């Protein structure tokens, strides 16, 4: 029997509907959650992501600004902009779209964002809070979205063996921290694989839940999956396809056609984790507004 498809778009839509209650409550107190997105350069993928985030803010009733800067922008200029946004009371969340041009030190910029407005969860203060389970910390949107997708799709994590393929600070490491915590979407035994893992296939085949975020198109094949496992594909890669008008198709880090014959449930690409990432960015922005203006 083919795997059950986990629909991230449907779950994300339901969560955005739920979020309206919090947005209305803040509105009754004269607070409109505000998000500023900063885009440096003309990377097409980054521009698409920022546009999607702006559209999501419009649909949810959030205030948002998109600030576009030339790719020649200096680090000093970008840092000055971040400081201005830190001081702007209309803005509760700041998103600096990555990657940044090579003349800019990414970590220096991310660390300059106020921890209270760091809705991406990249500031060391929020990284620390997430690692110890402090609910005032901002959980990075993608791993937070994966956790919610599992919970709301009826996937039990307690007592399971979760294998994460990829150890990035954006997905892999915070994902492990969330899954280890006590509570819904936690209490798992977690193994993290990476480029130095020996015989990775033998490790991934032990997973009750396999989360793949390695950035390599169709890296995980059917034979790397334990029969009946839940597979969450975080990857988004362009693969050339002359048969399509746009000349390419989007694929994940998992070989979907093979995997769905083995897995018990699986997320598609697109339509799986992607919509959840944007949804959780909205949740973090509302959380930031609520913490800025406590009842």
Q: Which residues are catalytic?
A: 53, 97, 120
Q: Which residue has the tokens 């085949």?
A: 205
- The residue among 225, 187, 193 whose CA lies nearest residue 209 is 225
Q: What is the 3-state secondary structure (H, E, C) of the chain?
A: CCCEECCHHHHHHHHHHHHHHHHHHHHHCCCCCEEEEEEECCCHHHHHHHHHHHHHHHHHCCEEEEEEECCCCCHHHHHHHHHHHHCCCCCCEEEECCCCCCCCCHHHHHHHCCHHHCCCCCCHHHHHHHHHCCCCCCCCHHHHHHHHHHHHCCCCCCCCEEEEECCCCCCHHHHHHHHHCCCCCCCCEEEEECCCCCCHHHHHCCCCEEEECCCCCCCECHHHCCCCCEEEECCCEEEECCCCCCCEEEECCECHHHHCCCCCEECCCCCCHHHHHHHHHHHHHHHHHHHHCCC
């Amino acid at each position: 029997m083919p795997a059950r498809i986990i629909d991230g778009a449907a779950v994300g839509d339901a969560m955005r509907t739920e979020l309206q209650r919090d947005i209305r409550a803040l509105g009754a107190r004269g607070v409109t959650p505000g998000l500023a997105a900063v885009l440096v350069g003309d990377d097409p993928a980054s521009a698409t992501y920022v546009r999607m985030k702006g559209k999501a803010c419009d649909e949810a009733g959030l205030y948002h600004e998109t600030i576009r800067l030339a790719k020649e922008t200096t680090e000093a200029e970008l840092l000055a902009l971040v400081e201005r946004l830190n001081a702007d009371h209309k803005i509760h969340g700041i998103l600096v779209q990555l990657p940044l041009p090579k003349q800019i030190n990414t970590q220096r910029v991310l660390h300059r964002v106020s921890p209270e407005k760091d809705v991406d969860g990249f500031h060391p203060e929020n990284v620390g809070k997430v690692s110890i389970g402090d609910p005032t910390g901002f959980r990075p949107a993608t791993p937070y979205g994966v956790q919610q997708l599992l919970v709301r799709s009826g996937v039990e994590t307690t007592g399971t063996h979760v294998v994460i393929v990829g150890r990035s600070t954006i997905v892999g490491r915070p994902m492990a921290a969330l899954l280890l915590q006590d509570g819904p979407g936690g209490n798992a035994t977690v193994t993290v694989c990476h480029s130095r893992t020996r015989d990775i296939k033998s490790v991934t085949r032990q997973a009750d839940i396999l989360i793949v975020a390695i950035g390599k198109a169709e890296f995980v094949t059917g034979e790397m999956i334990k029969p009946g496992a839940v597979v969450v594909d975080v990857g988004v890669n362009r693969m050339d396809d002359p048969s399509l008008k746009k000349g390419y198709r989007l694929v994940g880090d998992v070989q979907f056609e093979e995997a769905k014959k083995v897995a018990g449930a699986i997320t598609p690409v697109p339509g799986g984790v992607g919509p959840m990432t944007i949804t959780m960015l909205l949740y973090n922005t509302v959380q930031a507004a609520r913490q800025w203006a406590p009842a």
